[in-house]
Amino acid sequence: MHFILLFHILRCINFIALPSLQPTVYSCDNGHARFISYAPLETIEAKSNELKGALDPVNRTFLFTLNVNSFRGFNSGLQQEHFNENYLEAAKYPKATFKGKFIEDIDFTQDGVYEVRAKGILSLHGVEQERILKGTLDIGGEDIKIKSQFTILLEDHNIKIPRVVYQKIAPEITVTIEAMLKPMKE
């Protein structure tokens, strides 16, 4: 009887004293997103340092969100204004999100660089689309660095380009993301 009681007490002490064994969620609020439009008459590039994300390694799930108004670096202020008001309609659709799950089983306790595929819903301009995106996870110490590059077809998200500027905006945009996620503090 004393052995069983002692066993349960030790089990409780280990549970309380070893919080590092508890599941951890990782997050970031200053990841980087960049897009480039290579059109016949003009190249447009803009960047944001406001990519926010969370990753649950136990369930292999994630959510990333970006305020589309946060992009900077256009060729002109007028170009940025047209991007926000006319193309992405940022007042109506202020956020882009990607929510999903990693396809591969990843051992988040083992440091290393892993090639991964993430399946999820990409929401942009009010249109949700299921996508599988490739990327890398660089797990080192307590940090997880995520990188991905993919393309977005504007027509897939009902983003209309007026005929008068059709030669200045590519129908397919290259997007690059990079984020350093750290354990969330309680």
**pLDDT value, residue 10:** 40
Full DSSP string of 96-131: EEEEEEESS---TTS-EEEEEEEEEEEEETTEEEEE
CA distance 28 to 55: 9
**pLDDT value, residue 111:** 96
5 occurs within a structural domain: no
**pLDDT value, residue 165:** 80
16 occurs within a structural domain: no
**pLDDT value, residue 48:** 98
148 occurs within a structural domain: yes
**pLDDT value, residue 164:** 80
2 occurs within a structural domain: no
Q: Report the CATH number that the domain containing residue 110 is assigned in CATH.
A: 2.40.128.110
Residue 9 CB partners (closer than 8 Å, separation 6+) = none
pTM above 0.85, yes or no: no
- The domain of 149 spans 24-183
130 occurs within a structural domain: yes
**pLDDT value, residue 186:** 64
**pLDDT value, residue 57:** 95
Provide the number of structural domains found in the chain.
1
Which residues of the chain are under the pLDDT cut of 50?
1-22
